[in-house]
């Protein structure tokens, strides 16, 4: 089968350093403990989805400054947000609204107002929310809930768009897509958790300052643009990459003249523009007082950690499999076979079999997984696993 090669932008090279360090020192413990919990708690099919998402790796890379308890709680939240997607993605808007409301109630109060038989809600009520709330600073809890309410609403809007077919037309408009994707990526609540782990007591009126909001939005833009670039190959095989910035660039009237390589390059340019905007907004943040200025500097560094951590996770995780080998990863070469088409979906039974084998092997020997990840991230840090 003929494979076409495409040059991906080297997004990691835009950053000289990762302010918080390469990875959380608690990665190994989080990886082993979380995967054991998944094995003993989640159903078989959903556990495969969770293993494939490699959330312990993302959490450890995006939150290099955390305690072990906080990192485990962050994994509870990532799992809960993954559950929300499962509860809304394939349902009608009415059902998505009901499920999202129950999810928010459980997140906020530890249990829904009325009893729910949904296994995800039962699990959240039984143990996940207690661990999460015990790890989040009380100052940050209201901000955390507020951003999750907004995130849950976006899942309902997506269901409404699917029903009215607006989503199909929206993907042709790059500007509209970027505004929407900034929220649907679901990272804003994660930034509250980052402020909590770093004890950054930034009140709402400061967060709402134009320059601070601009800096945060630019960071979110970098997260979803990187996510879309590195997940494009997987999404192409799943559903034709219908909701991906590269596909949107190909369809937008202002950029539809570009071929696939040109669209990839354009997405890379958008990432660089968001990074430039991030630095510009950071420079425009006024002085509040000495204590708040320290918080703002640390928050900006934390945003950079999140952006870089997301890139590093996207490059090596087995969910995307963007690179065929280590040489391609170093060169940022993506290979697409004829089976990867913007108009054709060809699921592979072989890929499913290999995934199951992969999960079985790594569940039996977590040390093998750590060695594998360390090898792939070695250009970023020689001290990835201590």
Per-position DSSP letters for 243-281, written without gaps between them: TSHHHHHHHSTTTTT--HHHHHHHHHHHHHHHHHHHHHH
Q: Which residue has the higher pLDDT, 75 or 383?
A: 75
Query: Long-range contacts made by residues 249-252, C-beta under 8 angstroms, separation at least 24?
Result: 249/174, 250/342, 251/171, 251/172, 252/172, 252/173, 252/174
Kindly calculate the radius of gyration of the chain based on its CA atoms and give it in whole angstroms: 20
Contact 233, 340 (CB under 8 A): yes
What local confidence, expressed as pLDDT, does residue 363 receive?
Answer: 53
* pLDDT at residue 385 is higher than 50: no
What local confidence, expressed as pLDDT, does residue 240 receive?
Answer: 83
Q: Which residue has the higher pLDDT, 334 or 238?
A: 334
Q: In whole angstroms, what separates CA 249 from the centre of its chain?
A: 21
* pLDDT at residue 344 is higher than 50: no
Specify the DSSP element, H or E, that contains 5. strand 3-7
* Segment 312-328, tens digit of pLDDT: 999 999 889 999 999 99
Q: Is the CA virtual torsion 373, 31, 16, 224 positive or negative? A: positive
Contact 169, 207 (CB under 8 A): no
Which residue shows structure tokens 């939150």? 63
Which of 61, 1, 72, 65 shows the shortest CA–CA distance to 35?
72
Contact 295, 200 (CB under 8 A): yes
* pLDDT at residue 253 is higher than 90: yes
Burial of 170 per CB tally in 10 Å (0-12, 13-18, 19+): middle
Residues 6+ apart with CB under 8 A from 366: 28, 31, 32, 35
* Segment 277-306, tens digit of pLDDT: 999 999 999 999 999 999 999 999 999 999
Contact 148, 107 (CB under 8 A): yes
Task: Assign 310 a pLDDT band (cuts: 50, 70, 90).
Answer: very high
pTM: 0.87
Contact 177, 170 (CB under 8 A): yes
Task: Assign 376 a pLDDT band (cuts: 50, 70, 90).
Answer: very low
First to last CA, the chain: 41
Mean pLDDT of the residues in the chain: 88
Q: How far, CA to CA in Å, does 218 sit from each of 291, 300, 338, 340?
A: 24, 11, 35, 31
What local confidence, expressed as pLDDT, does residue 381 receive?
Answer: 43
CB crowding 44-71: b at 16 or more within 10 Å, else e: eebbbebbebbbbbbbbbbbbbbeeebb
Of 96-100, 109-113, 122-126, 366-370, the least confident: 366-370
What local confidence, expressed as pLDDT, does residue 369 receive?
Answer: 44
Q: How far, CA to CA in Å, does 349 sit from each of 48, 241, 280, 334, 361?
A: 15, 20, 48, 22, 19
């Amino acid at each position: 089968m003929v494979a076409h090669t495409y040059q991906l932008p080297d997004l990691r090279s835009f950053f000289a350093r990762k302010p918080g360090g390469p990875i959380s020192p608690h990665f190994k413990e989080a990886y082993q403990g979380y995967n054991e919990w998944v094995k003993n708690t989640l159903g078989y099919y959903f556990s495969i989805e969770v293993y494939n998402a490699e959330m312990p790796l993302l959490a450890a890379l995006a939150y290099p400054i955390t305690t072990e308890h906080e990192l485990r709680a962050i994994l509870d939240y990532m799992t809960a947000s993954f559950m929300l997607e499962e509860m809304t993605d394939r349902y009608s808007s009415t059902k998505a609204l009901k499920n999202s409301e129950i999810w928010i109630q459980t997140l906020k109060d530890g249990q829904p107002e009325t009893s729910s038989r949904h296994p995800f809600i039962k699990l959240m009520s039984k143990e996940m929310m207690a661990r999460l709330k015990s790890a989040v600073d009380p100052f940050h809890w209201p901000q955390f809930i507020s951003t999750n309410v907004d995130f849950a609403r976006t899942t309902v809007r997506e269901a409404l768009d699917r029903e009215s077919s607006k989503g199909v037309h929206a993907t042709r408009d790059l500007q509209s897509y970027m505004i929407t994707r900034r929220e649907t990526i679901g990272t804003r609540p994660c930034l509250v958790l980052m402020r909590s782990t770093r004890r950054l007591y930034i009140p709402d009126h400061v967060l709402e300052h134009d320059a601070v909001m601009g800096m945060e939005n630019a960071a979110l833009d970098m997260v979803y643009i990187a996510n879309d670039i590195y997940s494009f190959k997987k999404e192409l095989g799943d559903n034709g990459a219908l909701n991906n910035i590269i596909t949107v660039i190909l369809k937008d009237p202002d950029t539809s003249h570009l071929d696939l390589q040109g669209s990839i390059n354009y997405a890379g340019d958008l990432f660089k523009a968001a990074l430039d905007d991030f630095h510009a907004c950071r420079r425009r943040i006024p002085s509040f007082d000495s204590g708040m200025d320290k918080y703002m500097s640390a928050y900006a560094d934390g945003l950079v950690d999140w952006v870089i951590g997301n890139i590093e996770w996207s490059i090596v995780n087995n969910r995307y499999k963007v690179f065929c080998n280590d040489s391609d990863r170093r060169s940022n070469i993506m290979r697409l076979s004829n089976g990867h088409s913007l108009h054709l979906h060809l699921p592979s039974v072989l890929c499913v079999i290999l995934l199951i084998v992969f999960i079985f092997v790594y569940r039996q020997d977590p040390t093998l997984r750590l060695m594998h990840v360390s090898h792939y991230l070695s250009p970023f840090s020689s001290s990835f696993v201590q």
